[in-house]
Amino acid sequence: MSRRSLVLGVWLGCMVLAAIIVARARYIADLSAFLPAHPTPTQQLLIDQLRDGPASRLLFIAIERADSGTRAQIALAMAVQLRRDAQFSLVNDGEPVGLEQDREFLFGHRYLLSDSVTAQRFSAAGLHAAIQDTIDNLASPAGLLLKSLLPRDPTGEFPHLLDQLSNASQPSSNDGVWTSRDGARALMVVQTAASGSDTDAQERAIASIRNAFAVSSRVSPERAGAQLRLSGPGVFAVMARAKIKTAVVRLSIASSALVVVVLLTVYRSVPALILGLLPVTTGALTGVAAVALAFGAIHGVTLGFGITLIGESVDYSIYFFVQSRRPQPGTQSLAWQRLWWPTIRLGMLTSVCGFASLLPSGFPGLAQLGLYSISGLIAAALVTRYVLPSLLPRGFSIHDLGPFGAGIARLLRPLREHRGLVIAASVAAALLAVTTLYQHRATLWNRELSALSPVSAADQHFDATLRADLGAADTMDLVVVSAPTLDAALRGAEQAGAALRPLIEAKAIGGFDSPVNYLPSLETQKARRDSLPDAATLSADLRRASAGLPLQSERLLPFVTDVEAARQAGLLSRRDLQGSSLGAAFDALIMQQKDRWNALLPLHAAAPGQAIDTARVIAALKLARLDEARVLDLKQESDALYSSYLAEAIHLSLAGFGALIVLLAVALRSLSRVARVLAPLALAVLVVAAALAACGVQLTILHLVGMLLIVAVGSNYALFIDRQESLHEAGGEPLTLASLSIANLCTVIGFGLLSFSQVPVLVALGTTVAPGALLALLFAAALSPRESHA
């Protein structure tokens, strides 16, 4: 077997293997690319909340346009249809639906559920006070509605229970359904049965909602004028996935097409084009396969970054074709291998150095990008070195680029003739950039996770408006009580509740929800049941209690019967709540993590828009010695998380840069050459960062990655120009300049297109690398010390 067929065989075998891996890989598109791979327990809780927590399963429905009555009719019809759909565990449009069943449950178990049930309350004095209070309540129209319950519930446990549950402020209503505060839209909230991270299920649920709206708005012409708008985490996840998908597909097609046009124009040869794309496709395929093997699943965003590889790996074949078109006929490949392969190899290694610094990142998105780029670049370079020469057809030639390169050299000549001026200008640009960056130092980095969200600011604002209207705005602060069993968690929640109650009086918080409002711990239930007196005692006490009251104790016989029944009844368990909206509310406040149970107590602000003083909450819990209770500020926690990853990425990038310097120093064996290679790169990075800051763009982790890419791509340019100088070869420079310009054009096209996508992470990358790569080449060419030979 010849060496040629061996090389081709190995290459083809690898490609088939990679294709199989890529075809069988799993692709994911949720926010988890930006969540840590090895979280601490608090972070895990946060991630579970974001991915699967009750809040992640909420979808907000708004019906706009048309008049208020029509909107309400549509909402009511939709609610009927959605309630029949098993995809939704809860459908709430403000109707008192399910209230009857819930009321029966609450009324039937009022002596276990009400926190005012104590032995003292059932003494003669306690009964007297409670009954007096209930009679006073009858004077109000709200009390009048409860009049019929008086003989059975003279102590008012049931109305107290309703108060206990309606802690949160209710949204306003109009025409029988919830409406926004400005009255412009009818509102509904649904909770999906599937978790928020199940994007497919969320997509199906959203389709069902749209369908329900379409069905109910078809009924009459005035209904047809209404408009549906959706929001919530599931909507965002589906939107983000669709956006990333279309962006990746569209951008790959567009940049491939443009690169093909450029290459065809340059080579004027179809075989050259096909051969030129081989390193690119090999690199992309290898990169995806490597990520699939190492991570198990590929993030959609990683594929988006993949486009960027088109821009860099196409460079290798360009260098190969253009450089191998040397004056000595018949020896092109050999000359290329001797003269230029070491430079390409060094350029590839510097890129790998940069990307390797991403590998240890705890941010799966970055680690995947690192691995993808490293494996892709190595594969592309190897294909260029070993496969392409074997595939060159006899008599292969491309269009002569000498004149083109000479033209570029002419353009550069004025710069080179005034080298002192160019250096002065560069130094000035660097100083200006540093000054700008220094001025923006406080706001240079965006430390909020939402900066990476593919959801537009307008959509985020709409979501915030709906949440505010629905009173779901301030569920970002939680007290979490963790325990090994559900009952222990409930006991902890009761203790935490007792510690929090003084804070309501002090107006530090407005209130809080607690799972124990729906299901108290067994201990508490038992204590309440034990505090109920037997029938004889109760009757006697009632006779004494009714002295001075307008209510004869004989009329309260149903009360005595009910209390006796409660004394004999069993305690409530989670099973008793199942299937009711009370059960759904309870489940929303309980989370199970492996062998731990967490009770969630969402805190409400004392006034709308007011921040919750978490320090006081922590102090109150500490005072009560509740070690298993923690305060979780979801937004702060997730931002802190992102901030720590940003800091980590900055350190890793600096380390990568350091490694790159060492690599260059070893390969070039000259500090001044290292400085000449690095200066254009550093200048390009500085100027781009300063320009972004000056335009008011806050840098994110993706801008950082972009800077790394500038160094990775730009190092090739600087190294080639450096190599050209060291060759002292007359007439060679135009070819080098031509190949670099074409490679640069392809890179700028690939990354430039990213800036037009709707996905912020891709935009960040595009707007950094496209100008950065251009600047890197310009600086490298302008700063090269030698007079032009052209």
155 contacts 161 by C-beta, under 8 angstroms: no
Q: Can you tell me which of 120, 166, 265, 726 binds another protein, judged by CB under 8 A?
A: 166
Smallest gap from residue 765 Cβ to another protein (A):
49
Cα(592)–Cα(186) distance, integer angstroms: 34
Smallest gap from residue 538 Cβ to another protein (A):
18
Q: Can you tell me which of 138, 264, 437, 659 binds another protein, judged by CB under 8 A?
A: 138
Cα(514)–Cα(164) distance, integer angstroms: 10
Q: Can you tell me which of 391, 551, 606, 679 binds another protein, judged by CB under 8 A?
A: 551
Q: How many CB atoms lie within 10 A of CB 477?
A: 23
* Residue 176 within binding range of another protein, rule CB under 8 A: yes
* Residue 550 within binding range of another protein, rule CB under 8 A: yes
Smallest gap from residue 511 Cβ to another protein (A):
9
* Residue 141 within binding range of another protein, rule CB under 8 A: yes
Cα(558)–Cα(570) distance, integer angstroms: 20
Task: Select 154 or 656, whichever has its Cβ closest to another protein.
Answer: 154
634 contacts 476 by C-beta, under 8 angstroms: yes
Q: Can you tell me which of 40, 118, 140, 246 binds another protein, judged by CB under 8 A?
A: 140
* Residue 170 within binding range of another protein, rule CB under 8 A: yes
Task: Select 170 or 246, whichever has its Cβ closest to another protein.
Answer: 170
Task: Select 138 or 297, whichever has its Cβ closest to another protein.
Answer: 138
Smallest gap from residue 143 Cβ to another protein (A):
9
CA-nearest of 296, 437, 195, 365 to 760 is 365
Residues 6+ apart with CB under 8 A from 75: 61, 63, 93, 177, 186, 187, 188
How far is C-alpha 605 from the chain's CA centre? Answer: 26
Task: Select 472 or 551, whichever has its Cβ closest to another protein.
Answer: 551
CA-nearest of 751, 683, 675, 708 to 307 is 751
Task: Select 133 or 417, whichever has its Cβ closest to another protein.
Answer: 133
Q: Which stretch binds another protein (CB under 8 A): 174-182, 247-255, 603-611, 711-719?
A: 174-182
Block residue for tokens 């460079």: 315
* Residue 136 within binding range of another protein, rule CB under 8 A: yes
Q: Which stretch binds another protein (CB under 8 A): 161-169, 271-279, 564-572, 745-753?
A: 161-169
Task: Select 150 or 719, whichever has its Cβ closest to another protein.
Answer: 150
Q: Can you tell me which of 119, 144, 214, 411 binds another protein, judged by CB under 8 A?
A: 144
* Residue 139 within binding range of another protein, rule CB under 8 A: yes
* Residue 665 within binding range of another protein, rule CB under 8 A: no
Cα(228)–Cα(206) distance, integer angstroms: 11
Q: Which stretch binds another protein (CB under 8 A): 143-151, 240-248, 386-394, 411-419?
A: 143-151
Q: Is residue 548 packed enough to be buried (19+ CB in 10 Å), middle (13-18) or exposed (0-12)? A: exposed
Cα(722)–Cα(591) distance, integer angstroms: 61
Smallest gap from residue 172 Cβ to another protein (A):
6
* Residue 610 within binding range of another protein, rule CB under 8 A: no
* Residue 174 within binding range of another protein, rule CB under 8 A: yes
Task: Select 67 or 136, whichever has its Cβ closest to another protein.
Answer: 136
| DSSP result, 718-745 | HHHHHHHHHHT-TT-HHHHHHHHHHHHH
Task: Select 168 or 571, whichever has its Cβ closest to another protein.
Answer: 168
Task: Select 172 or 337, whichever has its Cβ closest to another protein.
Answer: 172
* Residue 145 within binding range of another protein, rule CB under 8 A: yes
Smallest gap from residue 498 Cβ to another protein (A):
17
Task: Select 131 or 307, whichever has its Cβ closest to another protein.
Answer: 131
Q: Which stretch binds another protein (CB under 8 A): 169-177, 201-209, 615-623, 630-638?
A: 169-177
Smallest gap from residue 186 Cβ to another protein (A):
12
* Residue 547 within binding range of another protein, rule CB under 8 A: no
Task: Select 98 or 176, whichever has its Cβ closest to another protein.
Answer: 176
Helix (H) / strand (E) element for 630: namely strand 629-633
721 contacts 281 by C-beta, under 8 angstroms: no
614 contacts 633 by C-beta, under 8 angstroms: yes
* Residue 135 within binding range of another protein, rule CB under 8 A: yes
350 contacts 660 by C-beta, under 8 angstroms: yes
Task: Select 176 or 402, whichever has its Cβ closest to another protein.
Answer: 176
The three-point CA angle 237-202-453 to 5° equals: 5
Dihedral, 321, 324, 330, 334 alpha carbons, nearest 10: -120
Smallest gap from residue 70 Cβ to another protein (A):
14
Q: Kindly report the length of the chain.
A: 790
Query: Footprint of another protein on residues 408-437 (CB under 8 A)?
Result: none
Smallest gap from residue 133 Cβ to another protein (A):
8
* Residue 184 within binding range of another protein, rule CB under 8 A: no
705 contacts 358 by C-beta, under 8 angstroms: yes
Query: Footprint of another protein on residues 507-526 (CB under 8 A)?
Result: none
Smallest gap from residue 137 Cβ to another protein (A):
8
Smallest gap from residue 570 Cβ to another protein (A):
31
* Residue 627 within binding range of another protein, rule CB under 8 A: no
Smallest gap from residue 159 Cβ to another protein (A):
9
Crossing angle between the packed helical segments 760-783 and 733-754, to the nearest 10 degrees: 160
774 contacts 404 by C-beta, under 8 angstroms: no
Helix (H) / strand (E) element for 43: namely helix 41-51
Query: Footprint of another protein on residues 62-101 (CB under 8 A)?
Result: 94-96
Q: Which stretch binds another protein (CB under 8 A): 5-13, 287-295, 406-414, 548-556?
A: 548-556
Q: Which stretch binds another protein (CB under 8 A): 282-290, 533-541, 551-559, 592-600?
A: 551-559
Q: Can you tell me which of 52, 64, 85, 175 binds another protein, judged by CB under 8 A?
A: 175
Smallest gap from residue 57 Cβ to another protein (A):
26
Smallest gap from residue 544 Cβ to another protein (A):
17
Task: Select 135 or 619, whichever has its Cβ closest to another protein.
Answer: 135
Max CA-CA distance within the chain?
Answer: 121
Task: Select 145 or 253, whichever has its Cβ closest to another protein.
Answer: 145
Counting residues that bind another protein (by CB under 8 A) gives 29
Task: Select 136 or 627, whichever has its Cβ closest to another protein.
Answer: 136
Residues 6+ apart with CB under 8 A from 432: 690
* Residue 552 within binding range of another protein, rule CB under 8 A: yes
448 contacts 640 by C-beta, under 8 angstroms: no
258 contacts 756 by C-beta, under 8 angstroms: no
Long-range contact list for 740-744, CB < 8 A, 24+ apart?
Answer: 740/777, 740/781, 741/404, 741/405, 741/408, 741/777, 742/262, 742/263, 742/266, 742/318, 742/322, 742/401, 743/314, 743/315, 743/318, 743/319, 743/716, 743/717, 744/717, 744/773, 744/774, 744/777
Helix (H) / strand (E) element for 83: namely helix 68-83
Block residue for tokens 């993808």: 372
Q: Which stretch binds another protein (CB under 8 A): 51-59, 165-173, 251-259, 626-634?
A: 165-173
Rg (CA), the chain: 35
Smallest gap from residue 466 Cβ to another protein (A):
18
Residue ranges binding another protein (CB under 8 A):
94-96, 135-142, 144-145, 147, 150-151, 163, 166, 169-170, 172-176, 550-552, 555
